[in-house]
Structure 1
Amino acid sequence: MGKGVAKYGFKSGVLPTARSILKSPTTRQTTLVEKAKQPLPKGEDGIGYAEGIMHPIKSRRDPKPVKFIDVEQVISRSVPEPQSIKGSANSAIQATKAKHAELRRKYLAEALRNEENYLLKREQLLNKRAEIAAKEREEEMKKIDLKKSSDLTIPSLEHIINQPLVRQRTKEETKLMKLKRNYNREMIAFKAKERKLEKLLELYYEADQYIVTEEQLLKNIDAIFDETRFAANANTFLELKNNAKKNSLEQKIGDELFGTVKTIHPGLPLVKDFLSGEAVHFNAEIKTENDRVLQEKKNNIDNILP
């Protein structure tokens, strides 16, 4: 790249502007056709020359009328169908040439028709944008006129009292508000069911630690009152308490990241993935990728060894 390429988007070259295939407007562009049929303005702000005033040499007194073309006629004149196929000793070459000619006719016809459709769509979009701009301008002028009229008069107390305290919603606003409320209500109910399901899953895992027999009760009592758990240092209990808080925090962070319960049990996200089949599909993809990597390594080793 050389100097001054920043204005070209740091590109070493600039492509030329794309030119239209159709050099003149088509007969299906109704807006341009109606505009061409309208009489041209005269006078100081118009076009043309006044009576008695000569126009310059090699120029026209009136502008050249716009020429509209018919795409189908252009296609029929540009790429006419062959009237006859000349015979030849080598029929394969003639068939190939005929096939190529048919493709050229087909592509040129498609290009001309697509260009006309593009121009028609562009014309519709421009008309629609003009209508929207006119409506917005009209609404803006109404607001300006309303402000001006209100500045010239002072509303009476009776007029103020008769006005509604709150502006009533339109039908579209009411419908939108109803949809938002239904969505919020359904989302709150869904989140509540999801929390209940998480608690039920945690309760299911906690059931493994429940004391349901006398032997389990005695074993847990002995473990709690075991004197060998604590050393002579008085700070041992505080250290164990702080370590318990730290472990609990790390465990919660791990559960949020990996979708587990107490880092060893599958949580609700993993259960959802398994029920939907996404986990099985993911495992299959991982297995396929591992097999591919192993096969590549094996092939590399076979290529290296004599």
Structure 2
Amino acid sequence: MGKNVLKYGGKSGLLPKVQPIFKDPIRPLNEHELEEYKKATKNTGYAKGIPSPVFKGKPFPRHQKPKRVVTVAKKIARIEFPKMTLQEMNELPPDERDAQRRAYYRAQFLKEAYLEEEKRLKAADKLAEERREKELKQSQRAQEEKALEHDRGVQGLPTLQKLLDEGMMKFRSPQQKKELKMRRNVNRLKTEAKQKDVQLEKLLQLYHAAANFITTEQQLEEAIHRAFDVDVGDFEFKQSTVESKLSGSGLGYLAAETNENYIADQVLGRIRGKPGLKEVKDVLSNEREKQKREAKMSLSRLAAKEANRINEEELMAAKQNTEGSAEAEQTEREPQQK
């Protein structure tokens, strides 16, 4: 670890700060920069409680004055270019000619560097101004939202004058009280009905699941036999089946089939492919039979309409045929009479 590395957090290889090309500012400070400068240089170098110095009855300001502004045009005007032109330099001896050319190119490069730095600083000032405006808009928006939220919270609070004028409780007429009581009863009945439906749904699920329960001694013996007796052939068959499923590409189809069954149960209101609560209610209330009868009646009406349409078409065709034959006979009789 090198010398004086600990004061940089143990990091080596730190580069020094790049010295600015312009030691003095090239433009005056704007309002925002001037406020920040005053805050940064306020009471600099003075302890607390010490009054400002006074000289000849006039207090000295404790704010440091900003640096004087030296524009780029002034800096370029201070550059000393050789008085000779490049064509005149060619007539000088080689050593003097090279010295004059170096001085000329040095001044020219310095001028170009000043102009490039001015462009860079203008672009940086533009970006900083855009960033400051964006932050200012965000802060204003946050303050407006905070004030709006505060207003919303305050608007719902009752004032003392409102309490004195309207009272603590809202006045309701007997008709309004009756309607309120009826609405409460309806809401209570709806809640109770929903709770009963949930209980019935759970009871129906338990009823469907009871098909797999062990309720007789024979079922118990069969379950014990399946659990403790080892059938080598059955075990090998199941093992090969599991291995083939794991190695094959049919797991995606199984998942898709499971998802399809779940979606069908949700749409039809069933419980794992078995009748759900809605179907049971329809059967108990004969709603399904009514729907079947209505469907049969509508089908019979459609069949009767179709039969009537066919009969009408046949009658129209027969009528047209008879009219055509009568016209043909009449045309045959006319030349015979002549």
**Normalising by the residue count of structure 2, what TM-score does the alignment of the two structures yield?**
0.34
**Normalising by the residue count of structure 1, what TM-score does the alignment of the two structures yield?**
0.37
Larger RCO: 1 or 2 (CA < 8 Å, sep 6+):
1
| Structure with larger Rg | 2
- Which of the pair is proportionally richer in helix? 2
